[in-house]
Structure 1
Amino acid sequence: MENYNEYHLDPKQFPFLKSFQDNWLEIKDEFTSFTDNTSEQELKFTYDVMGPKSQTIKTKGNGKYSAFGILFQGMFIEEYLKFHQIQYPDYELNDVLEKVLILRDKYFPSLAEAIKKINSSNDDILRNVYFGIFHPGLDIKLHVNYNHHTNRGYLGLIVPEGDVAMKICHDQLYWQEGKFMILDHSYPHCPHNYTNYDRVVLVVDFFKPDRPREEVVKFEQEQVRQRMEDNPYSLGVFGKSDRVKTEDFIKYGLAHQLEWDKALDK
């Protein structure tokens, strides 16, 4: 029996997510088909262009995090890149727009259709949908995502056995394949993967249904404007505000992370 609270939420509160969960194997197959059948050059392009980048969230050691997706701030990836006119040093924008649309249509038709269906009947409640990969040895420092207008759902797709978990406040939570973990990421958290295998989830950010829609839309617009000015490659997902206060490290018993975080800054 799961214990839920203000930052670890019951997925049953959000019935619009059920179509993702009911079709999780199909979503997993689309991910594995893509990663198994694309060239190294195509994979590099995908992570370079279709994945949100953070300039503030740090990892310990050599463990890496990577991500790529097809929906950002309620727009499909090709629409988002065109709207913000994001310029990449290694790619021409027109080529980028054509390529990401081809990749989305070829490899992720079921995921795209699920997003369209949910958003059309729920007033565009889905904001970001992307694959998040924790590579072996990943240890991310304590941080917050200053997204008071959204919750974040993780649908487990590939979850190895062992110590791969999310520490949030005083809890340590574990992903499960085929199930959602729903968190309020405005609370301090730090995930890790101490196994020898990749952990893959579908990350789904969505507006908090109990907040007035006009209010959350206004907040998102201002936040994305600021984040894109600071770092256009964040795709509006991460920002400079994704930091915790020193007292949070102490409050949640993670003072050791503060020490190695300081060491990384030297």
Structure 2
Amino acid sequence: MESFNEYHLNPQNFPFLKTFQDSWQVIRDEFTTFMKQASPEELQFTYDVLGPKSKTIKTKGSSKYSAFGILFQGLFVESYVQLHQIQYQNYETKIAAEKSLELRNKYFSNLSYVIEQVNGFDENIIRNAYFGTFHPGLDIKLHVNYNPHMNRGYLGLIVPEGDVAMKICHETLYWHEGEFLILDHSYPHCPHNYTNYDRTVLVVDFFKPDKSREEVIAFEKEQVAERMQDNPYSLGVFGKSDKAKEEDFIKYGLAHQLEWDKALSS
């Protein structure tokens, strides 16, 4: 029987996520259809505009993590781009927003509907929804995602057999297709994919239901303003506070990663 704790949370405690889980195959099919049918121009635009980017989370080696999504800080991506007037090198803000809406309607109508259903029923509890792909050989260095107002759910869409896992604190956890893995990402963690295949999940960030909604909205607003000022292409998902502290490495028995970090930066 699976055990849960303060950072590995029981999905049954968050019944609003069942709508996503019930639609997991449809959501997966939208992702795979997009990857097969999108034009090179659409793919380039997607990773330029719809992909949250981090300046602080680093990987070992050359393998990468890729992500793109349709909901950020409770807003569909086209509204988020417009609200923050994000400036892109190759797209005017207005054009970027229009193309984002066009792509969302063309490829991700079912996922959009699920988000609208859940957020309409529960006061916009879902904050971010994006696809995250670990490419073969990926090894992400220890970090935190400082979001004390939110939990992060991973809905398994494409999960190969083998060593693809999340190390968080003293545990190693695994993704499963059609199921949610829910974590408090304020705890230090380092995921990897040591298989020869991509692993893709739908990342669903949501407000902690046991916290005051006014309190978490106020915190999110302040945090997003800071993150967007530092890196508008983070779409408010990542920030400087994601860097693990030295005591995190030591506390969780990952001092070897700290030495690797220091050697790389010297």
Range of TM-score over shorter length:
over 0.9
RMSD value, Cα: 0.7
* 2:131 paired with 1:125: no
- Which residue is 2:260 aligned to? 260
CA distance in 2, matches of 1:92, 1:223: 26
- Which residue is 2:8 aligned to? 8
* 2:70 paired with 1:70: yes
Correspondence 1:23-172 to 2 at 5 A: 23-172=23-172
TM-score of the pair, normalised by structure 2? 0.99
Unaligned runs of 5+ in 2: none
After superposition, the C-alpha distances for 1:41-95 in whole angstroms (9 at most, x for unaligned) are 2111101100100000000001100100000000000000000000001112222
CA distance in 1, matches of 2:95, 2:79: 14
- Which residue is 1:243 aligned to? 243
Shift of 1:40: 2.1
After superposition, the C-alpha distances for 1:134-168 in whole angstroms (9 at most, x for unaligned) are 00111111111110000000000000011000000
* SS of residue in 1 equivalent to 2:240: coil
After superposition, the C-alpha distances for 1:84-123 in whole angstroms (9 at most, x for unaligned) are 0000011122221111111000100000000001001101
Q: Report the count of equivalent residues.
A: 266
Structure 1 runs of 4+ aligned residues shifted over 6 Å read: none
Unaligned runs of 5+ in 1: none
CA distance in 1, matches of 2:172, 2:166: 6
* SS of residue in 1 equivalent to 2:242: coil
- Which residue is 1:173 aligned to? 173
CA distance in 2, matches of 1:4, 1:22: 22
TM-score of the pair, normalised by structure 1? 0.99
CA distance in 1, matches of 2:234, 2:265: 21
Amino acid at match of 1:47: Y
* SS of residue in 2 equivalent to 1:104: helix
